[in-house]
Amino acid sequence: MIDEIVKGDAIDFACSIGEDITGWFLRAEIWDEDDNVIEKANALAGGDATQIEITDVITGAFTVHVNSDETKNFGDVASIEVEAQILGKKYTILKDAISFQKKRIDWTVPSPFPPN
């Protein structure tokens, strides 16, 4: 399970599959029990690098980017699945649960005086 993810924060899921992903179509979906759904894709699959960014094609490293406003209405548990398509075949390369936390930073006005 992927945990300590805070609802409403931007999230970057870094993944690496250890093989060359040149020409691969990558898609990711995150969903919860309340039918909240986030869909992402790399450029070859109709998205762009702001959704799924290929960081090292030779080692199969990529990052799924989730914007801060996309998870704010999610339940406490969600699922993520990443699918690759190459040469007409589809493969699930990641499937996991996500535990969302409700913790948030409590902003306060800083003191005008430096600490002693």
Domain 2-101, second-level architecture:
Sandwich (2.60)
pLDDT at 114: 64
pLDDT at 116: 60
pLDDT at 49: 97
pLDDT at 112: 63
pLDDT at 110: 66
Number of other CB atoms surrounding residue 54 within 10 Å: 17
User: Which residues contact residue 55 at a Cβ distance below 8 angstroms, ignoring those fewer than 6 apart?
Assistant: 14, 61, 62, 63
pLDDT less than 50: residues of the chain: none
Domain boundaries, the chain: 2-101
Would you state the torsion angle of the CA atoms of residues 106, 71, 13, 83, taken in this order, to the nearest 10 degrees?
170
